[in-house]
């Protein structure tokens, strides 16, 4: 089975937790029009065989607006560099539990011109990317997850300067001591109506599963 066997009018496709060989399943049929050219939502969370090598195949869907790579631990910064044009079209992106670092986050911030929902939790993100891109432009992000990262206080301040429309923020980092948490909460943009800042994430072995929320779908 491959994407060519699916209904061509499909707009939403969830393969969450499925075991399949992405090189075969995502391969565009040779000499045929692109399959699923109306596809807007693609959930590849916990598809363990999805790697950076296969990400380039996603460029066949410029219609994509929401992409989840949650738990795809074989995906790294190099893979993101293969789909930068695609990232520029996305409204929602989940890279939680991938091998993407600050370099990859920087690429996302620079190219994700339309992003509203960005979920960076459960990665090695330190927040250095926020410093690197601060001053470049304002970001349209409304929802940001930084649970189980190692982001620091000073980096969050740089992030806040770029997200005037922030509405939802979750941060868990070992650097979020009680006094730090208090200062960070004071600095959060006034537009934000949900703020969660903790030193330790309660469900350390579980990802956040943001793409199962109605607001994303």
Q: Do the Cβ atoms of 125 and 95 come closer than 8 Å?
A: no
pLDDT of residue 149: 96
Residue 217's pLDDT band (cuts 50, 70, 90):
confident
pLDDT of residue 148: 95
Q: Do the Cβ atoms of 150 and 144 come closer than 8 Å?
A: no
The residue extents of the domains of the chain are 1-72, 101-202
pLDDT of residue 216: 80
Q: Is the pTM of this model over 0.85?
A: yes
Residues 6+ apart with CB under 8 A from 186: none
pLDDT at 158 over 60: yes
pLDDT of residue 213: 84
Rounded (10°) angle between helices 178-187 and 153-162: 10
State residue 17 phi and psi, 5-degree precision.
75, 5
Residue 21 φ/ψ region, left for φ over 0, alpha for ψ in the -120 to 50 degree band, beta for the rest:
beta
Tokens 């995502």, residue located: 26
Pick the CATH number of 101-202 from 3.40.640.10, 1.10.3720.10, 3.80.10.10, 3.40.50.1980: 3.80.10.10
Residue 138 φ/ψ region, left for φ over 0, alpha for ψ in the -120 to 50 degree band, beta for the rest:
beta
pLDDT at 31 over 60: no
pLDDT of residue 203: 74
Residues 6+ apart with CB under 8 A from 21: 49
CA pair distance 130, 135, nearest whole angstrom: 10
CA pair distance 193, 211, nearest whole angstrom: 20
Residue 202's pLDDT band (cuts 50, 70, 90):
confident
Lookup: tokens for 97: 């539990």
């Amino acid at each position: 089975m491959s994407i060519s066997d699916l209904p061509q009018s499909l707009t939403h496709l969830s393969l969450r937790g499925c075991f399949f060989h992405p090189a075969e399943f995502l391969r565009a049929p040779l000499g045929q029009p692109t399959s699923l050219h109306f596809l807007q939502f693609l959930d590849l969370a916990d598809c363990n065989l999805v790697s950076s090598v296969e990400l380039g195949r996603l460029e066949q869907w410029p219609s994509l607006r929401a992409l989840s790579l949650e738990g795809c631990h074989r995906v790294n910064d190099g893979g993101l560099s293969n789909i930068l044009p695609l990232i520029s079209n996305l409204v929602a992106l989940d890279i939680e539990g991938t091998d993407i670092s600050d370099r990859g986050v920087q690429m996302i911030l620079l190219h994700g011109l339309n992003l509203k929902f960005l979920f960076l939790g459960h990665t090695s993100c330190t927040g250095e990317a926020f410093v690197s891109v601060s001053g470049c432009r304002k970001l349209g992000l409304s929802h940001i997850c930084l649970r189980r990262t190692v982001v620091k206080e000073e980096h969050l301040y740089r992030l806040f300067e770029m997200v005037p429309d922030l509405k939802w923020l979750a941060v868990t980092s070992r650097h979020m001591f009680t006094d730090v948490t208090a200062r960070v909460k004071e600095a959060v943009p006034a537009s934000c109506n949900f703020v969660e800042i903790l030193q330790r994430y309660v469900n350390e072995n579980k990802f956040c599963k943001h793409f199962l929320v109605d607001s994303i779908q």
